[in-house]
Structure 1
Amino acid sequence: MFYAKEIEEAEKLESFIPNDEILDLLENTKEPDKKYVREIIQKSLNKNRLEPVEVATLLNVKDEDLLEEIFEGARTLKEKIYGNRIVLFAPLYVGNECINDCQYCGFRTSNSEIYRNSLTMETLEKEVESLVDKGHKRLIMVYGEHPKYDANFIAKTVEKVYTVKKDRGEIRRVNINAAPLNIEEFKTVKDAGIGTYQIFQETYHLETYKKVHPRGPKSSFNWRLYGLDRAIKAGIDDVGIGALFGLYDWKFEVMGLLYHTIHFENTFGFGPHTISFPRLEPAINTPIAERPPHLVSDEDFKKLVAIIRLAVPYTGLILTAREPLEIRNEVIKFGVSQIDAGSSIGIGSYSHDDLENYKKSQFVLGDQRSLDEVIKELTDHGFIPSFCTGCYRLGRTGEHFMEFSVPGFVKRFCTPNAVTTLMEYVVDYASPETKKSCEIQIQRELDAMPESEMKQQLLKYIDMVKDGVRDVYF
């Protein structure tokens, strides 16, 4: 089996997800005291990560007035740390060969109805050119788990992406969503210049995990659980975690994400760069995805996003295009800092229209708006879309990112950088209607900035962008 000896060693490790403790906390906090709930919210607003008993208490809030205070707390906290900026990216699926048999995934090895395909370097270049033509600057590249998608392949595909230039456009940062590797393999991928490496545990409930992962390397709970530990030891200090909501009780999964965060803090001195919280969506020939065993309602979804925001104030939250437009527009207010836009998840689907694209896709997208449409809607609602990659290239990652984000310095750097990258989009790609909306929002941002040397420099950067200079940032 793939990684057989290393998986055997991983199985000897003790899980840092305390199953019984989580269940006890959720049971013992079922009647939350209003005063205590408000104290918890205030602790978060002071930019302190919450403890398990505090998060369990919030998860058990049912009182409508208290729930609104949770939502308002999440909105306020997001504004305090990140401002009104929303980072934009696109997923790029490189290959859907897979040796795992995850029961909820369209890519699982036993699914005979999925069309298997992998991008070649030539087709990868065409995909990237299509994304650049639309105005994208940030990607997350997604790979199935298969021997052909080893560390060298991942590194070569990342390096290829960085070579693609089209007119004034380019991809400036590639994040990765792929299988767990060993330390030496993670070093190979790091050397390609990646940003964040994501590994989603899918479910933190061990019994459920074993049930839905019957075969393949992913059947080892611990191999996956400790995957990002190995990434950090290899020097990748920007890591992203996530759970697939719908496989088990959503409250338990939120607690699992919190304990994973605490493990990073205790072991390495910093938390995850991002947390994702996708809901299970339909996939071809995948019954469990059509009928999730623990369906998460829209109301519970809004609640869990707001609580995650309060639980880990300094961590970026990613809201994906799995969600329908109406939910995205509502949940984005509760502390989301990143979304994908103009997304397509078939293999080769950005450069090639295909009526049977669903046969190449892992699941069905809920929000299929174009990048231009998403940007216009964001700016119409007072957000500042951002393609900024400055933190990665200036070393504001891992522990250093915590130094900037916890005191709120990220807002100082990232809002000006959002303005310059949005102005690039305005000049190079925006439709007339989107251009007008963006220019109004950029002026709002400038009007809100106090007079300072940074503001004067930003005005110079804006003029430079209008004159054709690209990739200027603080």
Structure 2
Amino acid sequence: MLTPQTKTTSFIPRDELYNRLDEAQKKFSSQKLREILHEALKLKGLSLDQVAILLQAEEEKDIQAILAAASQVKEAIYGRRMVLFAPLYIANYCSNNCVYCAFRKDNTTLARARLSSKEIEEETLALLREGHKRVLMLTGEDERTPLEYFLEAIRRVYSVKDERGASIRRINVEIAPLDVEGFRKLKAEKIGTYACFQETYDEKLYTKYHPVGPKSDYLWRLYVMDRAMEGGIDDVGIGVLFGLADYRFEVLALLVHANHLEERFGCGPHTVSVPRIEPADGAPLSTRVPFPVSDQDFKKLVAIIRLALPYTGIILSTRESESLRQELFHYGVSQISAGSRTNPGAYSHPGEKTGSQFSLGDHRSLEEVISALIDDGFIPSFCTGCYRKGRVGQDFMDLAKPGLIQKFCMPNGLFSFREYLDDYASPPTREKGLRLIEKLVSEIPDRALQKKTSMGLAEVAEGKRDVYY
């Protein structure tokens, strides 16, 4: 039975978290750090105090130790798979005035757009022709894009098929907070994960960055995942925009939020996203970041999140550069966007100048990203099997924590990868991708699983599509 929650107070103990960081600085030592990393390798997560100490690491040897531990944890839980998706922006009107975002309502230089049903179908078809099977659908918060418009957009995306009969198999959603009834309607459209970022958990700074509009209500946004899960959403994704407050505070607050959901609903977040502020036209703060996060600190915080929340997916967007993304794949990231555009209509009509939300750091196409993943020995995965088999929420975590989920995720990832290679890849990419698949299958220690994987791959090679179990 869920207990009532007081929505007039925050469950983020702001001052206490800053105090924990101060205390951790006094307690920090390389020896203490290594003791914590030893605990992290048990794959049970970390406490707030342990995370606070890891966040104090500044010397190269200590940071490298954190990265090495995170790499081991990621390999143990996720293996070599890397889930791929594309963001699909359907509108950029917004009634908020977030000072770091190009979509803010006072940005009069932005070319605004609201895609029609036909345009949404065109965008979907363009993504399908690239080989995408998973999208994250987004829009600004505005009366011109009400919930019913968004729900119809979901139906349109799911209805589209490309020339091969392929369709989008999973739509994750990132829209403004809803009430419980709104989330019930969203759930009815068979969405995947619902994502919403707090942007910053520092309530005092939050007010500064969100001066007007519905988003200015800190508590309404903070409790959004409670309402989503009350409304039947199985998988939720949380995150912050790094650069708005001390990154060390934000990491601790993310962990508090995850623990809050675990304690109340028996299941923490399915994903955590880690965007950094990037330049955005018409958003002056985006070029004067209040709390800059260096690449070194960014790698460190991603690795620490992986150690603290070992079974939670970490999502990395194309805000970051190609080289940094490739590096972070080894230290904790498990889901990435690829071939991204952040302006409505940009996939089907790349020449049109509708406004983008922010600047991209990685401009590679989907195939170029996949080619690089193959070179690094990763499995580019478009798998959606768990969601359609009902392995979501608590059920997913029950399989993930004892390490059983890899018996599904690796084979299903390979099936979707082989499908991409046969249907969309260029000959060079296909050739080296097939070599990687052969190598990975030969290394599966469980002979029964190896046989089952080989059988599924044979089905795909013979022309069967959407193979999963």
Give the Å deviation of 1:102: 0.5
Check if 1:353 corresponds to 2:350.
yes
Question: Partner letter of residue 94 of structure 2?
Answer: C
**2-side partners of 1:332 and 1:100: how far apart?**
33
Residue 35 (structure 2) aligns with: 39
Deviation (angstroms), 1:399: 0.9
Q: Does 1:211 align with 2:204?
A: no
Q: Could you report, residue by residue, the CA deviation over 1:293-320 in whole angstroms, capped at 9, with x for unpaired residues?
A: 1111111111111111111011000011
- Residues 11 and 222 of structure 1 are in contact (CA less than 8 Å); yes or no, is this contact kept in structure 2? no
Give 2:161's aligned amino acid.
K
Q: 1:131 aligns with which of 114, 119, 127?
A: 127
Is 1:87 matched up with 2:83?
Answer: yes
Quick check: 2:442–2:450 contact (8 Å CA) kept in 1?
no
8 Å Cα contact 2:96/2:105 also seen in 1: yes
Moved over 3 A (4+): none
**Number of the residue aligned with 2:416:** 421
**Partner Cα distance (1:185, 1:451) in 2:** 45
Q: Deviations over 1:40-63 (max 9, x none)?
A: 222222111211111100000123
| Residues 152-163 of structure 1 mapped to structure 2, 5 A cutoff | 152-163=148-159
Which residue of structure 1 aligns with residue 199 of structure 2? 202
Q: Offset of 1:452 from its aligned partner? A: 2.7
Residue 337 of structure 2 aligns with an amino acid whose one-letter code is D
Matched residue of 1:460: which SS?
Answer: helix
Deviation at 1:150, TM superposition (A): 2.7
Q: Is the 8 A contact 1:11 1:223 kept in 2?
A: no
Provide the rounded CA distance (Å) in 1 between the counterparts of 2:448 and 2:54. Answer: 42
Corresponding residue for 2:367?
Answer: 372
Aligned counterpart, 1:231: 228
Q: Residues 69, 48 of structure 1: CA spacing in aligned structure 2 closer, same or farther, 3 A cutoff?
A: same
Greater mean deviation of Cα atoms: 107-116 or 455-464 = 455-464
Distance (Å, rounded) in 2 between the aligned partners of 1:27 and 1:369: 41
Q: How far 1:12 sits from its partner (Å)?
A: 4.9
Per-residue deviation at 1:247?
1.0
* Secondary structure class of the residue paired with 2:402: coil
Q: Contact 2:277/2:289 (CA < 8 Å) preserved in 1?
A: yes
- Aligned-residue Cα RMSD (Å) equals 1.4
In the other structure, the counterpart of 2:69 is 73
Alpha-carbon separation, structure 1, partners of 2:151 and 2:282 = 32
Worse overlay, 178-187 or 26-35: 26-35
In 1, the alpha carbon distance for the partners of 2:393 and 2:6 equals: 27
Instruction: Decide which moves more: 132-141 or 168-177.
Output: 168-177
> What amino acid sits opposite 1:463 in the alignment?
A
| 1:333 equivalent in structure 2 | 330
> How far is the alpha carbon of 1:465 from its aligned partner?
1.1
Q: Which residue of 1 aligns with 2:468?
A: 473
Measured after TM superposition, the shift of residue 355 of structure 1 is: 5.9
Q: Paired residue for 1:284, among 249, 256, 281? A: 281
Matches within 5 A, 1:137-176: 137-168=133-164, 169-176=166-173
Once residues 46 and 245 of structure 2 are traced to their aligned partners in structure 1, the CA distance between those partners, rounded to angstroms, is 23
8 Å contact from structure 1 (residues 82, 408) kept in 2: no
Mapped to 1, the partners of 2:434 and 2:367 lie a distance apart of: 14
Q: Is the Cα–Cα contact under 8 Å of residues 345 and 352 in structure 2 kept in the other structure?
A: no
AA at the equivalent of 1:129: L
Matched residue count: 464
Partner SS for 1:167 = coil
Query: Amino acid of the residue matched to residue 420 of structure 1?
Result: F
**TM-score normalised by L of structure 1:** 0.96
> 454-463 vs 235-244, which deviates more?
454-463
How far off its partner does 1:380 sit?
Answer: 0.7
Distance 2:356 2:264 in 1: 36
Match status 1:186 vs 2:189: no
Single out whichever of 391-400 and 235-244 deviates more from structure 2. Answer: 391-400
Q: Secondary structure at the match of 1:339?
A: strand
Give the drift of 1:146: 1.3
Corresponding letter in the other structure for 2:384: T
Equivalent residues of 1:152, 1:188 under 8 A apart: no
Structure 1 residues 193 and 332, CA gap change in structure 2 (3 angstroms)? same
* DSSP-derived class of the 2:320 partner: coil
Answer whether contact 1:151 1:186 (CA < 8 A) is retained: no
SS in 1 for 2:329: helix
Please, which of 370, 387, 390 is the counterpart of residue 385 of structure 2?
390
Aligned partner of 1:98 in structure 2 is 94
- Deviation of 1:204 (Å): 0.6
- 2:106 is aligned to 110
Asked if the contact 2:111–2:353 (Cα under 8 Å) also holds between the matched residues in 1, the reply is no
Letter in 2 for 1:45: L
The reply on whether 1:321 has 2:318 as its aligned counterpart is yes
Q: Is the 1:92–1:141 Cα contact (8 Å) retained in structure 2?
A: yes
Report Cα offsets for 1:132-191 as digits up to 9, x if no partner.
000000000011111233332222111111111112321100000110000001100110
Partner SS, residue 139 of structure 1: strand
Cross-structure match for 1:6: none
TM-score normalised to structure 2 length: 0.97
The verdict on how the C-alpha distance between 1:330 and 1:188 changes in structure 2, with shifts beyond 3 A counting, is same
